[in-house]
């Protein structure tokens, strides 16, 4: 009898304890708000986000740029300026929008893979406000650039930009840029896409990526192997080289590369990021060198410099047929003129690349 009563008491206590705990668990479960799922975007959706960026950027706060750019976006503007939040990001854009009220961007080339998307763009606008220390000129100007975006949760979380601000300043009448930049260089005629009679079995993203990486690792780094260009580039390659005149053909390309080697004999470039999208390959690169020869019409400074840039390659049948290159040319110019890498040497350096 005593054992039975003990069993009943223990059972009742256990049930009472369960009844006390059960509602607490249920309430806790009801009160817990599950974290919102981070939307996973496809390369096609990332491309749409990148295109929307260039449409919305010109409108500033009036547009929907906050729907495209994350609040904690990290932005490397390509001239030594780096922003890490949305407010500072908008301040940089305000400088462009104030100087060029009719600013517009046309996206010329797009490549996307994984969470990365690259855009090559052309900007046009009329300078109606002060820009990089230059008073309003009412001149209509145009310049090119490349941006790589990393997309996370449906927004741009990180961006790297490189643009031809030397040509922009030259068009605005700046006097502290190389003389040969003040004239319009004749552009090479782009090769028509799909010149091959039939698709080549070697045209895979992986194979194209390997070819494009050789441009940086074999030609522009320690090997300085110009013969590699005969293996990776089409005989009629068209190269659009940042602020430099376009070149057409391997021989002209080798001459242009040799001129850079003469200016920076110890140049070393590395691949920081790379991805392929069909016949297009995007390479983000950086490097160092010492200015020991004439560069952009300036005498050798003897000082160290840092390079940053982005290349887009179009490849057919195992050969690079066309390439676009943008680098931190204005920042590089300031370094050669005696400033430090990334330093705000002049008012011009206070305004970033797009």
Write out pLDDT tens, residues 289-304: 999 999 888 899 999 9
The verdict on residue 19 lying in a domain is no
Say if residue 263 is in the same domain as residue 171.
Answer: no
Say if residue 76 is in the same domain as residue 154.
Answer: yes
The verdict on residue 24 lying in a domain is no
Q: Which helix (H) or strand (E) holds 316?
A: strand 304-316
The verdict on residue 187 lying in a domain is no
Interatomic CA distance for residues 288 and 185, integer angstroms: 27
Say if residue 173 is in the same domain as residue 215.
Answer: no
Say if residue 293 is in the same domain as residue 333.
Answer: yes
Residues forming a β-bridge with 327: 309
How many domains does the chain divide into? 2
Say if residue 229 is in the same domain as residue 318.
Answer: yes
φ, ψ of residue 280 in degrees (nearest 5): -105, 140
pLDDT confidence bin for 35, thresholds 50/70/90: low
Say if residue 169 is in the same domain as residue 268.
Answer: no
Q: Which pair of structure tokens corresponds to residue 242?
A: 């940042």
Stronger pLDDT, 351 or 146, i.e. the higher one: 146
Say if residue 225 is in the same domain as residue 165.
Answer: no
Write out pLDDT tens, residues 122-135: 999 999 999 988 99
The rounded Cα 206 to chain-centroid distance in angstroms is: 21
What's 336's domain CATH number? 3.10.450.50
Say if residue 59 is in the same domain as residue 125.
Answer: yes
The verdict on residue 130 lying in a domain is yes
Say if residue 215 is in the same domain as residue 315.
Answer: yes
- Which residues 6+ apart lie within 8 Å of 178 measured at CB? 166, 170, 296, 297, 298, 333
Residue at a domain's end among 147, 182, 217? 182
Say if residue 322 is in the same domain as residue 243.
Answer: yes
The whole-chain average pLDDT of the chain stands at: 82
The verdict on residue 10 lying in a domain is no
Is residue 350 pLDDT above 50, yes or no? no
Say if residue 177 is in the same domain as residue 52.
Answer: yes
The verdict on residue 120 lying in a domain is yes
Write out pLDDT tens, residues 78-135: 878 899 999 999 999 888 989 999 999 999 999 999 999 999 999 999 999 999 889 9
Interatomic CA distance for residues 107 and 247, integer angstroms: 22
The verdict on residue 295 lying in a domain is yes
- Kindly report the pTM of this predicted structure: 0.82
Say if residue 175 is in the same domain as residue 209.
Answer: no
- Which residues 6+ apart lie within 8 Å of 328 measured at CB? 78, 79, 80, 162, 306, 307, 308, 309, 353
Residue at a domain's end among 182, 217, 241? 182
Q: Which helix (H) or strand (E) holds 30?
A: helix 2-31
pLDDT confidence bin for 177, thresholds 50/70/90: confident
Residue 51 belongs to what domain range?
Answer: 43-182
The verdict on residue 347 lying in a domain is no
pLDDT confidence bin for 26, thresholds 50/70/90: very low
């Amino acid at each position: 009898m005593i054992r039975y009563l003990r069993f009943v008491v223990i059972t009742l206590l256990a049930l009472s304890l369960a009844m006390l705990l059960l509602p607490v668990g249920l309430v806790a479960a009801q009160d817990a708000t599950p974290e919102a799922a981070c939307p996973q975007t496809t390369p096609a959706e990332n491309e749409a986000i990148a295109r929307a960026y260039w449409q919305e950027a010109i409108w500033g706060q009036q547009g929907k740029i906050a729907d495209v750019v994350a609040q904690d976006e990290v932005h490397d503007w390509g001239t030594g300026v780096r922003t890490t939040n949305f407010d500072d990001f908008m301040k940089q854009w305000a400088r462009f929008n104030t100087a060029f009220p009719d600013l517009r961007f046309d996206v010329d080339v797009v490549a996307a893979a994984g969470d990365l998307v690259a855009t090559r763009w052309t900007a046009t606008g009329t300078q109606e406000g002060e820009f990089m220390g230059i008073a309003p000129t009412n001149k209509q100007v145009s310049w090119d650039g490349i941006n790589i975006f990393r997309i996370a949760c449906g927004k741009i979380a990180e961006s790297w930009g490189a643009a031809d601000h030397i040509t922009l300043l030259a068009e605005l009448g700046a006097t502290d840029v190389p003389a040969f930049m003040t004239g319009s260089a004749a552009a090479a005629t782009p090769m028509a896409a799909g010149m091959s009679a039939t698709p080549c079995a070697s045209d895979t993203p992986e194979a194209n990526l390997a070819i494009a990486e050789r441009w940086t690792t074999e030609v522009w780094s320690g090997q300085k192997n110009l013969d590699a260009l005969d293996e990776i580039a089409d005989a009629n390659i068209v190269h659009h080289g940042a602020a430099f005149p376009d070149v057409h053909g391997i021989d002209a390309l080798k001459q242009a590369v040799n001129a850079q080697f003469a200016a920076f004999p110890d140049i070393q470039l590395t691949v920081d990021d790379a991805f392929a999208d069909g016949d297009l390959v995007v390479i983000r690169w950086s490097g160092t060198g010492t200015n020991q020869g004439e560069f952009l019409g300036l005498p050798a400074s003897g000082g160290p410099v840092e390079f940053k840039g982005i290349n887009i390659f179009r490849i057919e049948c195992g050969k690079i047929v066309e390439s676009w290159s943008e680098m931190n040319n204005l920042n590089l110019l300031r370094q050669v003129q005696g400033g430090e890498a990334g330093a705000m040497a002049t008012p011009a350096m206070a305004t970033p690349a797009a």
